[in-house]
């Protein structure tokens, strides 16, 4: 289930916007990611064609099971890494920016090891 980093970012944004607003349209994604509407439109077409999202006749976007699985994974990594870096004293804005890069390259094995290690520290 390897997809491009940009697709992961879009799926994560859809999840975050949906959790915040209860619905998602392309304009919401453009505003959230500060991307142009045409760029978002192309990305949504690609995500739809690859089975990661559906879009209804009114333009509302929903993650498919496949898309939600990826979005959940990326968002979990993002939150965990951001929170860990902040606990280490990193400025929250920098921590979130760094987490956004790290979340795409860390292996599942390494991420699980970090989670396990941190849970032991918290006990």
Give the domains, in start order, of the chain with CATH numbers. Answer: 5-69 (1.10.10.10), 72-122 (1.10.60.10)
Backbone angles phi, psi at 52, to 5 degrees: -95, -25
pTM of this prediction?
0.88
Mean pLDDT of residues grouped by 10 in the chain (123 residues)?
A: 82 97 96 94 95 96 97 95 95 95 92 90 74
Task: Determine whether 42 is exposed, middle or buried from the number of CB atoms within 10 Å of its CB (0-12, 13-18, 19+).
Answer: exposed
User: Tokens 């976007």, residue?
Assistant: 61
Report pLDDT for 120.
80
Report pLDDT for 122.
75
Report pLDDT for 2.
55
Of 81, 49, 59, residue with least CA distance to 14: 59
C-alpha angle 106-122-13 in degrees, rounded to nearest 5: 40
Name the helix (H) or strand (E) containing 59.
none
């Amino acid at each position: 289930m390897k997809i491009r980093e940009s697709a992961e970012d879009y799926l994560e944004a859809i999840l975050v916007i949906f959790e915040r607003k209860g619905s998602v349209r392309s304009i919401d994604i453009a505003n959230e990611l500060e991307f142009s509407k045409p760029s978002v439109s192309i990305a949504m077409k690609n995500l739809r064609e690859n089975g990661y999202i559906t879009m209804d006749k009114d333009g509302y976007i929903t993650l498919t099971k496949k898309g939600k699985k990826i979005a959940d994974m990326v968002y979990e990594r993002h939150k965990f890494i951001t929170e860990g870096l902040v606990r280490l004293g990193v400025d929250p804005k920098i921590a979130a920016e760094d987490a956004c890069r790290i979340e795409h390259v860390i292996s599942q094995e390494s991420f699980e090891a970090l989670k396990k290690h941190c849970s032991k520290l918290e006990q």
